[in-house]
Chain A
C-alpha cells in the first residue's frame, strides 16, 4: 500500500463517516494519514508484543472493535493492503458482528499482491499462480506446481510462531529452501519483492538463486516470488475428449 495512492473513494468515505476508526497499518506515517481523515483513530498496533502469539493479538483486536459496536458506534477497521487477504480479524469481526445482528461488510483494498503484479509485470492468468504463507510449506504437505508462479508470504518469519522473532531466520529458511528444492533446481531464479510504501520510493526488486535464499538478509515486509521452472504440459487425454465433444457439437449443429 502506497501512502496517498492506495485508498478507494468508497473506503475513504467509510472512514470519514465512522464514529470510531481502528487502525492496523504498516507504520506510523500511514496512521498519520488516517488521522487527517478522522479525529478518532485508535491504533491496534500496541496490542502486538514480543513473544505474544499473534492469535491472541488478533482476538484482542476483534474484542476492541466489537465493544464499540455494542456501544452503538459506527465502527470502521482499517487494515493495510486488502483487509480480507492474509488477515484474520477483519473476517472474524464481520462474522461476529453479523451474528449479533449488526450490519457489517468489507471493502476491498489494494494489496501487496496487486502491487506485485504491476511492479514485476506478470499476469497470474498466464501460467497460474500459487500463494502460500511460507510456513505452510513446512508444516503441511502441500503440492507446489512449478509450471506456474509461486508467491511466498512471510518468508522472513518462516517457522517462527510469534511476532517479534525475526532473528533466527536463516536456519528456518534453510528448511524452506530444502523443501523448495524438491520442485525447483538450486539455481532457479527467486525474486525478492517489496512494494513502495512511500510515493517517493521505488519498489525493491532483487533477483537471486534459490540456494542463496537462506543466507540473505530478509525483512518481514518482503515477499518471495518463484517464476515458473517448467513448461506447461498438454493434458492429452482431456484434449482428445474436448475434440470429441467439439465434433459431436458440430455434428449436432449440422443435423
Chain B
C-alpha cells in the first residue's frame, strides 16, 4: 500500500489532482493502492476516518496569547482601576512593553 502522507503531498502539490473530480482521483488512488480511509475521503467526502487514522486534532488557529493571558495583561490591556488603600506601600508599576 502506498504511503498515505506521500499521496496527500502529491495531491496537494499537483494542480490536476488537487481539484480533480472524485471519480478521477479515485482512479488514481486505486492504481496507487491507497488506503480505504483516503479513498473514502475522496469518494464520500468523509474525511473523519482519515483524520482519525492520521491523528489530526483540532487546535486553535492562533499561536498568540489570548487577551487575558498572563503577561499580556501587563503589556496591552487596560487593567481595571482599583482604589489603593492610602497607608499601604505602593507596588511598582506594571512592566509595559510590546508583546506582539
Point out residues on A near B: beta carbons under 8 Å: 2-5, 24, 26-29, 32-33, 36, 53-56, 58, 79-81, 86-89, 91, 112, 133, 135-136, 138-140, 153-154, 156-157, 159-163, 197-202, 219-221, 223
Query: Which residue of B has the minimal Cβ distance to A141?
Result: B78
Contacts of B78 in A (CB 8 A): 140
Residues 1-39 of B, flagged 1 when their CB comes within 8 A of A and 0 if not, give 000011011111100011000000100000000000010
Report the minimal beta-carbon distance from A135 to chain B, rounded to whole angstroms: 4
Assess whether B88 is interfacial by the CB under 8 Å rule: no
- The answer on a CB contact under 8 Å between A133 and B67 is yes
In the complex the two chains form, what is the Cα distance from A154 to B68 in whole Å? 13
A223 with B66: CB separation less than 8 A: no
Jot down 5 A-B pairs with beta carbons below 8 A, ordered by A: A55-B69, A56-B70, A88-B63, A199-B11, A199-B12
Closest A residue, CB atoms, query B72: A55
- The distance from the CB of A213 to the nearest CB of chain B, in whole angstroms, is 17
Roughly how many angstroms separate A161 CA and B55 CA in the complex, as a whole number? 26
**Known contacts A54-B64, A221-B61; 19 further A-B pairs (Cβ under 8 A):** A3-B9, A4-B8, A4-B9, A24-B63, A27-B57, A29-B5, A33-B9, A53-B65, A56-B70, A81-B61, A87-B63, A88-B63, A88-B99, A139-B77, A154-B66, A161-B66, A197-B56, A220-B60, A223-B61
Could you tell me if B12 and A4 are in contact, using CB atoms closer than 8 angstroms? yes
Which of A2, A24, A154 contacts B61 (CB under 8 A)? A154
Contact (Cβ within 8 A) B67 A86: no
Residues from chain A with Cβ under 8 Å of B55 in the complex = 27-29
B66 touches A5 (CB 8 A): no
Q: Taking CB as reference atom, which chain A residue is nearest B19? A: A199
Knowing A157-B66, A198-B50, A201-B41, the reply to whether A219 touches B13 (Cβ < 8 A) is no
Q: How large is the interface on B (under 10, 10 to 19, 20 to 34, 35 or more residues)?
A: 35 or more
In the complex the two chains form, what is the Cα distance from A54 to B73 in whole Å?
13
With CB as the reference atom, state the residue of chain A lying closest to B54: A29
B61 contacts A4, C-beta separation under 8 Å:
no
Chain B: minimal CB distance from A154 (Å): 6
- List the B side residues contacting A56 at CB < 8 Å: 70
Contacts of A112 in B (CB 8 A): 61
| A residues in contact with B62, CB < 8 Å | 86-87, 133, 153-154
Identify B67's interface contact among A36, A81, A91, A135, CB under 8 A: A135
Closest to A220 in B: B60
The CA of A139 and the CA of B78, in the complex, are separated in Å by 9
Contacts of B9 in A (CB 8 A): 3-4, 33, 36
CA distance A135 to B78 in the complex (A): 14
User: A169 to chain B: closest CB distance in Å?
Assistant: 12
